């Protein structure tokens, strides 16, 4: 009888282990994902973009329509890109996603896109973005339990094309970057009234911003390397270059206070 009870106890332990193992096999690993919208500045009053959906592609075959997953957009609708420059951004997505390799992202726009110039609003024609969506190459991993932060960076100045007769077209120039694989440059312009456009240049790549009214600036999403900064101030001030600004991933390089001379 004792032997029978012992065997029964052992059987229950084995069954419990099997149940636990099966339960673990059925657990789907997830990654917390946050996507933010930011912008490179432009000399317009407003650049209004109608964001309707964001999708990720997780299939090994980038050319197939299988594998696209739509994310939960916090607020679909119109965003003025010029509210999100110089380090400012807004949260578009905050959700758990299945862990794994991601190859592409797709941004789908609605029909209500416009640019405001000298107080006058003009419609922006965006045919490709409204149908198949704007695709970006990601080729990154969503690691289980590790928060993934991604920024969508519109270059508003280069994305708007005048087609004549008061008409404009949106031909988006967009880059994406994440916190772990990029760095940033910050600094302060003196005097603040110079309000320069600031270009961070490495090789053939240029990333730009405009200093705030208090003179501060921040350029995010920079690949690691050594940069030159070109400063193009408003009339009455002299242009300036600053060499050898080193940027490393995951950190902000402080360029300090940059003095600009009066012409």
Q: Given a cut of 90, is residue 228 above it in pLDDT?
A: yes
> What residue segments make up the domains of the chain, in order of their start?
30-180, 183-259
CATH of domain 30-180: 2.60.40
Dig out the tokens for 81 from the structure.
């890109």
Domains 30-180 and 183-259 share a fold: yes
| DSSP class per residue in 34-79 | EEEEEEE--SSSEEEEEEEEEEEE--S-TTSSTTEEE--BSS-EEE
Is the preceding omega at residue 196 within 30 degrees of 0, hence cis? no
Q: Which residues of 74-87 are buried (b: 16+ CB within 10 A; e: fewer)?
A: eeeeebbbbebbbb
Q: Are 125 and 168 in contact (CB under 8 A)?
A: yes
Q: Which pLDDT value is given to residue 20?
A: 44
Segment 25-40, tens digit of pLDDT: 445 788 889 999 988 7
Segment 128-164, tens digit of pLDDT: 666 678 888 888 888 887 888 888 888 888 889 998 8
Place 24 in a pLDDT band, splitting at 50, 70 and 90: very low
Q: Given a cut of 70, is residue 14 above it in pLDDT?
A: no
Dig out the tokens for 205 from the structure.
């790549």
Question: Which residues of the chain form beta strands (DSSP E)?
Answer: 30-40, 46-57, 68-70, 77-80, 90-98, 100-109, 114-117, 120-125, 134-142, 148-155, 160-164, 167-170, 174-178, 183-190, 197-202, 205-210, 216-222, 225-232, 240-247, 252-259
Q: Among residues of the chain, what percentage have pLDDT more than 90?
A: 37
Q: Given a cut of 80, is residue 117 above it in pLDDT?
A: yes
Other Cβ atoms within 10 Å of 190 Cβ, number: 12
Q: Which residues of 139-150 are buried (b: 16+ CB within 10 A; e: fewer)?
A: ebebeeeeebeb
Query: What whole-number distance in Å separates Cα of residue 102 and Cα of residue 140?
Result: 5
Query: What whole-number distance in Å separates Cα of residue 216 and Cα of residue 257?
Result: 9
Mean pLDDT value across residues 190-210: 90
Segment 172-197, tens digit of pLDDT: 888 888 876 788 899 999 999 999 98
Evaluate whether the domain defined by 183-259 bears CATH number 2.40.340.10. no
* CA neighbor of 197 nearest in space, from 175, 230, 242: 230
Place 62 in a pLDDT band, splitting at 50, 70 and 90: low
């Amino acid at each position: 009888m004792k032997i029978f009870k012992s065997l029964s106890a052992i059987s229950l332990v084995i069954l419990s282990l099997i149940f636990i193992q099966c339960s673990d096999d059925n657990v789907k690993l997830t990654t917390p994902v946050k996507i933010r919208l930011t912008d490179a500045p432009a000399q317009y009053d407003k650049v209004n973009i109608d964001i309707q959906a964001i999708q990720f592609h997780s299939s090994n075959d980038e050319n197939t329509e299988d594998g696209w997953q739509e994310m939960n957009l916090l607020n679909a609708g119109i965003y003025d890109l010029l509210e999100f420059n110089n380090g400012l951004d807004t949260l578009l997505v905050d959700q758990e996603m299945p862990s794994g390799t991601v190859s592409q992202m797709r941004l789908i726009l609605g029909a209500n896109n416009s640019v405001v110039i000298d107080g006058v609003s003009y419609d922006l024609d965006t045919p490709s973005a409204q149908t198949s969506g704007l695709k970006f190459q990601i080729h990154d991993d969503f690691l289980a339990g590790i928060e993934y932060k991604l920024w969508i960076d519109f270059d508003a100045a280069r994305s708007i094309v005048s087609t004549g007769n008061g008409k404009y077209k949106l031909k988006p120039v967009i880059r994406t970057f994440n916190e772990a694989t990029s760095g940033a440059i910050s600094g302060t312009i003196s005097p603040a009234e110079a309000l320069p456009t600031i270009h961070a240049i490495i090789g053939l790549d240029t990333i730009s911003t405009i200093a705030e009214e208090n003179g501060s600036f921040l350029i995010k999403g920079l690949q690691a390397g050594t940069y030159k900064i070109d400063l193009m101030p408003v009339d009455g001030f002299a242009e300036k270059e600053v060499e050898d600004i080193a940027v490393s991933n995951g950190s902000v390089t402080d360029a300090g206070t940059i003095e600009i001379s009066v012409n």
